[in-house]
Amino acid sequence: ETGVTQTPRHLVMGMTNKKSLKCEQHLGHNAMYWYKQSAKKPLELMFVYNFKEQTENNSVPSRFSPECPNSSHLFLHLHTLQPEDSALYLCASSQAENTEAFFGQGTRLTVV
């Protein structure tokens, strides 16, 4: 079992759909992150949660809504997405914000 688990691995959704991405970490870490990885672009940090509190929101559109119910789980709720939102969404966790992050395998999202 990997330390950080993301579900689903692949998701195809229409622009009017509502879906959620789930991330779970089994490492006892205190910080969790959502990243977006688009083709030929550097990783973009979307959200940071430290001890369940959101500490960073990198100007992400409101159609992406994070939720962190406890330090082991992180969700990304999606609604009315655009085709340009198609990307690999990676979840990560770290012991603290200044230590190395461990990543899940990502959710490959396609918006049609």
Contact status, residue 53 vs residue 34, Cβ threshold 8 Å: no
Q: Does 27 bind another protein (CB under 8 A)?
A: no
Helix, coil or strand: residue 89:
strand
Q: Which two tokens stand for residue 11?
A: 């998701």
SS3 track for 21-43: EEEEECCCCCEEEEEEECCCCCC
The residue among 33 and 64 lying less far from another protein, judged by its C-beta, is 33
| Residues in contact with another protein, shown as a per-residue x/- string from 28 to 67 under the rule CB under 8 A | ------------xxxx-x--x------xx-----------
Q: How far is the CB of 34 from another protein (least distance, A)?
A: 13
Considering only residues 75-104, where is the footprint of another protein by CB under 8 A?
88, 90, 92, 97-98, 100-104
Q: Which two tokens stand for residue 73?
A: 């789980």
> Phi and psi at residue 63, in whole multiples of 5°?
-70, -10
The residue among 4 and 78 lying less far from another protein, judged by its C-beta, is 4
**Interface residue list for another protein (CB under 8 A):** 2, 40-43, 45, 48, 55-56, 88, 90, 92, 97-98, 100-106, 108
